[in-house]
Amino acid sequence: QVQVVQSGGEVKRPGASVKVSCKASGYTFTSYGISWVRQAPGQGLEWMGWISAYNGNTKYAEKIQGRVTMTRDTSTSTAYMELRSLRSDDTAVYYCARESEKREPEKMATIFFQHWGQGTLVIVSS
């Protein structure tokens, strides 16, 4: 069965960096992309970006472009998300999610997240 397991919670000072890992199992890692989604306390879901596990191509949300880097290691089936220059408003639960695709008539293909990691709480505090 598909499993996505993330690294543990972190506490960071403002200005520091954090790197969260996301280890996948139960499927061919390079066949699916990984997205990262975060959720600040009491807030909604925010998509951060995507990485192709196949070739490492990335796409980042405009809001955090320049502060985020997503990478992957195909030898360990692990994706990583590094966020730099942390601020207090980066305090959130960070999720990785494996993407799948559904093609149907009438509209563009649907990319959806069927398998989510358990979440990693990152607290940014002085």
Partner 1 sequence: SSELTQDPAVSVALGQTVRITCQGDSLRIYYATWYQQKPGQAPVLVIYGRNNRPSGIPDRFSGSSSGNTASLTITGAQAEDEADYYCNSRDSSDNHVFGTGTKVTVL
* Residue 121: closest CA among 4, 11, 2, 3: 11
| Comparison of 2 and 16: residue with beta carbon closer to partner 1 | 2
Count of all residues that appear for the chain in the document: 126
Q: In whole angstroms, what separates CA 78 from the centre of its chain? A: 11
Complex with partner 1: residue 9 or 112, whichever CB lies closer = 112
Q: What does the binding site for partner 1 look like in residue numbers (CB under 8 A)?
A: 35, 37, 44-47, 50, 59, 61-62, 95, 97, 100, 102, 104, 106-108, 110-114, 116-119
Q: How far is the CB of 116 from partner 1 (least distance, A)?
A: 4
Nearer to partner 1, 11 or 45 (CB): 45
Q: In angstroms, what is the minimal distance from the CB of 100 to partner 1?
A: 8
Torsion angle defined by CA atoms of residues 58, 12, 125 and 72, in that order, rounded to the nearest 10 degrees: 20
Q: Min. distance of Cβ 18 from partner 1 in angstroms?
A: 19
Contact, 113 vs 98, CB < 8 A?
Answer: yes
